[in-house]
Structure 1
Amino acid sequence: MDRKKCSRPEVNFISGLLAGLNNAIICAPLDTAKTRLQIQGLYNKSYSGTTQTLSMIYKTEGIRGLYQGSSITILAYPLSWSLYFIIYEYLKSVTNDYTSSSLYSNILSASGAGLVSTVVTNPLWLIRVRLQAQREKTNSGWEIGKNLIQKEGFLSLYRGFSASLLGVGHVIIYFPMYEYFKEHIYNEDQPTLIGVLISSWIPKVCASAVSYPHELIRARIYTHDATQDKRFCGFKGLIMFTFNTEGFKGFYGGFFTNIFRILPSTFVTLYTYEKVKYFLEHN
């Protein structure tokens, strides 16, 4: 396949935008359930498992509760994925000129794209998690952001950034594996449903098993109010608090709900991306 054709930014932007939008709309309730399970160790809630969590949210908050934070999600996912794929494909085209190893090229590209995407979108993820957690007295993402800036300054929007940076490790594991499976299953041919399913799911389970603790820690930092809750301080303090109160398994709270969420989410995202990209490149 023509390398220049692959790296056209408008193709990657549109493909990533539509992929992120599909992800946001389809997977919102599972995303809310995952967040509630991740943070409950701090607040002694009684969620237990995907079905029970979804049921409890629906009974106490209605359908609106399942879609808390969707206004931010619809912005954050498309922005994150479109930005990620533009940078990822561009860096692949650049690094391929300096290394004969596609693995090294994919690792470097995933790292760079993950870093930039994290810097740009961290405030949106923070606000979204706070909306999903329902610990604020407002349902407005704008109000949450404004209140944080007024109380703690603009940099408060980057709370949890250290934990977010660890998330770059997820894409370093995931995307090289995804590229490997994709190359050996359908390569330059039109992406098939089964091909994308296998290529996206196996790497996702592997990457998530390794990197999931960072997601849990990040969600807890996002919702923690340091002015009211003095049980721990900062990123390292939260890690020790979680381990001391819940043990090692505490870092995997909501893991199976997350797996249940990310498998369809990942498939929807990458299938949309690959199909739209193929269509734009061949028409």
Structure 2
Amino acid sequence: MATDATRKFTKSDLLPVPQPPTFHPQILVTPAHDGLHFWQFMVAGSIAGSIEHMSMFPIDTIKTRMQVLSSCPIKSAGIRQALGSILQTEGIAGLYRGIGAMGLGAGPAHAVYFSAYEVFKKYFSGGNPNNAVAHAAAGVCATVASDAVFTPMDMVKQRLQLSNSPYKGVMDCVKRVLREEGIRAFYASYRTTVLMNAPFTAVHFTTYEAAKRGLSEISPESANDETLIVHATAGAAAGALAAAVTTPLDVVKTQLQCQGVCGCDRFRNGSISDVIGTIVKKDGYRGLLRGWMPRMLFHSPAAAICWSTYEAGKSFFQQLNVVADDDDHGSSSKLIR
């Protein structure tokens, strides 16, 4: 009896219960946007900004000299005369005075600039890559953040760029300004800088995205693989247009950052209207357009360099992430087997 019962239970007609596969949990950090992590946007932006400003620094020096009234031997608004005056009195070294301050400020500021832009673009666009308003709004938010980082070093840079600048170098300028004028002097132009860069960035990013999209449509076969020439051309157009629109505020910014140095005027309250009034009184309304040509000559190639470098950096990191993901999936498959 016991034997029959045993046989009955041993030859069960029930299907075997499948065992769950071995589970190997993995913690994956998903890229935030465009297949990149946040820190990768920062690195790509930092490299792009540094290359842009360092390569175009001599033109920036000419622009600064032309925008400062009553400060230096340069009275003409011509680029050739300004360049000749600098080379004659100071040599080639005069074109690069203050580049150390630019090197210290450009990298961190552009890391903040591009990473903030990508974050806000993703947030505002709602998944629509053709949303021009989102691009403009993201650019404005990015510039408010980056200008807080860049403005102090920009002030130091412009004071060192002046002819007969009383400062020996970056650290000497920082120490003397802190001692003689206080920390507020480093941010005297911050409000003007933001008011200038907000429309500059809005025009810049909107034009860049639109131009890049338009150029890709002209050559549909390269739409999925955007070429260097597309980024450079779109960046150049965006930089030139944005620079032309915001030149008057750039003149005001230069005046505020250089006030009291090398014979530059010192303003009572540092308001934009006060500075504009002084400029118009001394040089007429054309004074508000001083340096517009070198400013466009700076921003057009600078933007082309910056955007092409930035997009190349993004492409590098995207490929790096794809390889890393493939390696992770391969390791997972081996573990499961």
Q: Same fold (TM over 0.5)?
A: yes
Partners of 1:268 and 1:84 lie apart in 2 by 16
Deviation for aligned residue 1:158: 0.5
- The whole-number CA distance in structure 2 between the counterparts of 1:71 and 1:280 is 28
Q: Take 1:80 and 1:264, find their aligned partners in 2: how far apart are those partners? A: 19
**Residue 72 of structure 1: aligned partner:** 101
2:68 aligned counterpart, secondary structure: helix
The answer to whether 1:84 aligns with 2:113 is yes
274, 282, 289: which one pairs with 1:237?
274
* Offset at residue 95 of structure 1 (A): 2.0
Counterpart of 1:270?
307
Q: TM-score, normalised by structure 2?
A: 0.76
8 Å contact from structure 1 (residues 29, 54) kept in 2: no
Higher relative contact order (CA 8 A, sep 6+): 1
The secondary structure found in structure 2 opposite 1:189 is coil
User: What are the ranges of 5 or more consecutive residues in structure 1 without an aligned counterpart?
Assistant: none
Aligned to 1:138: 167
Whole-angstrom distance in 2 between the partners of 1:58 and 1:272: 30
Computing the radius of gyration from Cα coordinates, the structure with the larger value is 2
Q: 2:208 corresponds to which letter in structure 1?
A: Y
Question: CA–CA distance in 2 between the matches of 1:274 and 1:136?
Answer: 37
**Residue in structure 2 matched with residue 180 of structure 1 by the alignment:** 210
Q: Distance in 2 between matches of 1:45 and 1:65?
A: 13
Equivalent residue for 2:286?
249
2:234 is aligned with 1:203:
no
3-state SS of 1:51 partner: helix
Q: Which residue matches 1:158? A: 187
Q: Following the alignment from structure 1 to structure 2, what is the Cα–Cα distance between the partners of residues 232 and 156?
A: 12
* Mean CA deviation greater in 79-88 or 122-131: 79-88
Question: For residue 64 of structure 2, what is the aligned residue in structure 1?
Answer: 35
**Residue type at the aligned position of 1:246:** D
Write the deviation string for residues 123-182 of structure 1: whole angstroms up to 9, x where unpaired: 011000000114532221111121111122211210112211112211011101211222
Distance 1:65 1:231, change over 3 A: closer
How far did residue 114 of structure 1 move?
A: 0.5
> Which digits, 9 at most, give the CA deviation of each residue in 1:60-93, with x for residues without a partner?
1122111011101112222222210010001112
Q: Partners of 2:265 and 2:43 in 1: how far apart?
A: 45
Deviation at 1:184, TM superposition (A): 3.0
* Separation in 2, partners of 1:17, 1:211: 24
Q: Distance in 1 between matches of 2:191 and 2:34?
A: 36
Q: 1:229 to 1:60 in 2, by over 3 A?
A: closer
Going from structure 1 to structure 2, the CA distance change for 1:105 and 1:6 (only over 3 Å counts) comes to farther
Offset at residue 96 of structure 1 (A): 2.7
Following superposition, the deviation at residue 201 of structure 1 comes to 2.2
Partners of 1:99 and 1:271 in 2: CA distance: 23
Indicate yes or no: 2:297 matched with 1:260: yes
Aligned counterpart, 2:258: 223
Tell me how far apart the structure 1 counterparts of residues 252 and 37 of structure 2 sit (CA, whole Å).
36
Unaligned runs of 5+ in 2: 1-30, 218-222, 321-337
1:279 equivalent to 2:316? Answer: yes
Can you list the C-alpha shifts for 1:210-265, whole angstroms capped at 9, x where unaligned?
21111111011111119x87674223211101112212211111111111222111
1:93 matches 2:119:
no
Tell me which moved more, 60-69 or 45-54.
45-54
* TM-score normalised by structure 1 residue count: 0.90
Which sits farther off after the overlay, 116-125 or 141-150? 141-150
User: Is the 2:54–2:103 Cα contact (8 Å) retained in structure 1?
Assistant: yes
Determine the C-alpha separation between the residues in 1 that align with 2:145 and 2:109.
9
Shift of 1:46: 2.9
* Structure 1 residue 9 displacement after superposition: 1.5
In the TM superposition, residue 37 of structure 1 has moved relative to its aligned partner by 0.6
Give the conservation status (yes or no) of the 8 Å contact 1:13–1:86: yes
Determine whether 1:15 maps to 2:44.
Answer: yes
Return the letter of the residue paired with 1:103.
A
1:194 maps to a residue whose letter is I
Shift of 1:3: 6.5
Q: 1:59 to 1:190 in 2, by over 3 A?
A: farther
How far apart, CA to CA, are the structure 1 residues paired with 2:193 and 2:34? Answer: 32
